[in-house]
Amino acid sequence: MLIANAPCSWGITGSASNAYSWQQYLDQVAEAGYRGTELGPYGFLPKDVGLLRDELAKRDLVLIGGVHVHSFGDAASAPDLMATLRDLSTLMQSLGAGHVVIMDRSEFYPKGQEGVLDAAGWAGLTQMVRDAQSLVEGEYGLKLSFHPHIGTAVEKEGQIDRLLADTDIDLCFDTGHHAFWDQDPLTYMEKTFPRIAYMHLKNVDPKVRARVLSGELSVADSYGAGVMCPLPDGVVDIQAVMQLLQQRHFTGPIVVEQDVATDAVETPLQLAARNLAYMNGINS
């Protein structure tokens, strides 16, 4: 299985004002030993197909997919979503990357109302998802997946179940975001496996999670506190996750992601390399 990484592991969450240039990111993800990468925020890596193809090839990297974050709670934003997905899908298609992932934007929601949608808001979300799937899969022949994410309208199992029931979309399943709320990733993967098309591997520090669940620490502050810890160090049994994927002959992308704690002593490059060494030990 090809194990990829993503720009978010280097703290890159927008197309500009990042601590690393796109060249530095590509250099370091390749140096860490990865052969695949996600696109990251649209506009961070070059949009020029020829340039990006050449830069990936120079580093023996392949592009495996693109992830787009959108305010699904804002029905009026649907035209913007579709326009961006057209551009993103064209780029993915041109570079031979077969996947696009969408997720809800946590920053859309007021503090204390994270992920809260009324019936009309949920109807708008599901309609946008259906329209996005029709566009990406019907017009471009790519696979579209939805990523449940902390602080959004689709994060807990009941919400994910509802999305799967109300749409035909498959999941980008993230082990860390699922375990964040003390949910069991393996059990849910077993339950929904036919609807999982894409994997994000993260792990969760149980001590930091306990502070969130008790109300001592906010969700927003938990990232800096290191709630998403390196793969070998958390509560999610990543080895069991990989065994399940292998037993079920999973063929979708598998992406390691690492949110870096504020007091981290390891650099993003060191963390990426350590996570890949752990993954290689599982697969050996």
Mean pLDDT confidence for 215-234: 94
Strand partners, 65: 38
Strand partners, 50: none
Question: pLDDT per residue over 85-105, tens digit each?
Answer: 999 999 999 999 999 999 999
Chosen CATH of 3-283 out of 3.40.50.1980, 3.30.70.2660, 3.20.20.150, 1.10.150.120: 3.20.20.150
Confirm if 233 and 203 have CB atoms less than 8 A apart: yes
Q: Which helix (H) or strand (E) holds 68?
A: strand 62-70
* Predicted pLDDT at 129: 98
Tell me: pLDDT of 284 over 80.
no
Question: pLDDT per residue over 135-188, tens digit each?
Answer: 999 999 999 999 999 999 999 999 999 999 999 999 999 999 999 999 999 999
Tell me the pairing of strands 99-104 and 143-146: parallel
d(CA 106, CA 152): 5
d(CA 116, CA 156): 12
Q: What is the pTM of this model?
A: 0.96
Burial of 175 (0-12, 13-18, 19+ CB in 10 A): buried
Tell me: pLDDT of 73 over 80.
yes
Mean pLDDT confidence for 234-247: 97
Domain ranges of the chain: 3-283
DSSP string, 75-98: GGGHHHHHHHHHHHHHHHHHTT--
